[in-house]
Amino acid sequence: MGVEIGLGITILNKCSGFYGILGLLTGHQLDFMQWVLYLTSVFTLVVYSLGLTTVYKPKLQTYAFVLLTFTADTLITCFFTLWFSGMWFAAKESELSDPSSATQQTSGGISSGSKLLTARGETLSSQSASQATEYFFTILVSLIALVSRFYFNFIILAFVQRLFRHPKYLVDQDDVDQDLKHKKLWQRWWIRAENWSYRVCHHYLA
């Protein structure tokens, strides 16, 4: 249940990769870090989707691959969260200080009006969140997203560990060392990645 919910929620979030790349069609340029983020999102979306579709009949190699991908993705997400936080706060400074920005263009009218107008005994400016509140919710939501990610990671880790210890999911070594000559290139890479993940997970979890 936890694996299904965790993977499903993560997959929904990974759709951002498609929309980030779709932005190219509107003439928007992506920087290197955005390219990395969106391409990894698309790749992980494929891996997690494979995991979700087999959640009731899991294959140990596939789930070992999902686990390692998810774990690496969690670490990368932590890094990206810090990186793009810096990007946002830089962009915000620019928005607040640039005379041609929408904020500067409209703030005069809004702030002077808010001093004059009152709503039920309160100034209108008090109806907007303070800067401290904005920061608080921004940090809170970011932290909740990160904590949820770690939580889902641990759920998947526990699931794979139990798969390793369950007799039904014992893997025949011949399956791991199967002949790959007649497979397509991407299939060979995929199976090799799964098998490598299986060996790594077997070493630490079995």
Partner 1 sequence: MSEIFKRLFMSHRPANSKVSQLETSLNPTITLKKLRSYTPSLGDLCHYAFLGSVLLFVLIVYPAALILKLSVYVLFGVLFLLPATSQFFFNALPIFTWLALYFTSSTFEAKHRPPITVQVLPAIETILYGDNLSDILAASLNKPLDIFAWLPYGIFHFGAPFVVAIILFLCGPPTLLRGYAFAFGYMNLAGVIMQNLLPAAPPWYKIQYGLTPANYKMKGSPGGLKRIDEYLGISVYTEGFSNSAVIFGALPSLHSGCATMEALFFSYVFPKLKPLFIFYVCWLWWSTMYLTHHYFVDLMAGSVLSYTIFQYTKYFHLPLPEPSVYSRWSYADIKKFSVWQADPLNGDGGDLENLAVPLAVDTDFELNVMENSEPPSIFDQDRSVSRSSATSNTSADVQDDFVSAARPGKQRID
- Considering only residues 131 to 190 of the shown chain, the ones binding partner 1 according to CB under 8 A are 133-134, 137-138, 141-142, 145, 159, 162-163, 165-168
In angstroms, give the least distance from the CB of 182 to partner 1. 29
CB 3 within 8 A of CB 155: yes
Q: How many Cα neighbours within 13 Å face the side chain of 115? A: 5
User: At 123, is the secondary structure helix, strand, or coil?
Assistant: strand
Measured in residues, the chain has a length of 206
Q: What does the DSSP assignment read for 58-83?
A: --HHHHHHHHHHHHHHHHHHHHHHHH
> Counting contacts by CB under 8 A, is residue 15 touching partner 1?
yes
Q: What does the DSSP assignment read for 102-119?
A: HHHHHHHHHHHHHHH-EE
Q: Looking at 48, 65, 70, 80, which residue binds partner 1 (CB under 8 A)?
A: 80
Give the binding range for partner 1 (CB under 8 A) out of 56-64, 173-181, 182-190, 191-199: 56-64
Q: Looking at 37, 45, 156, 201, which residue binds partner 1 (CB under 8 A)?
A: 37
Give the binding range for partner 1 (CB under 8 A) out of 10-18, 66-74, 174-182, 189-197: 10-18
> Counting contacts by CB under 8 A, is residue 70 touching partner 1?
no
- Using CA atoms, how far apart are residues 37 and 44, in angstroms rounded to an integer? 10
In angstroms, give the least distance from the CB of 199 to partner 1. 22
In angstroms, give the least distance from the CB of 183 to partner 1. 25
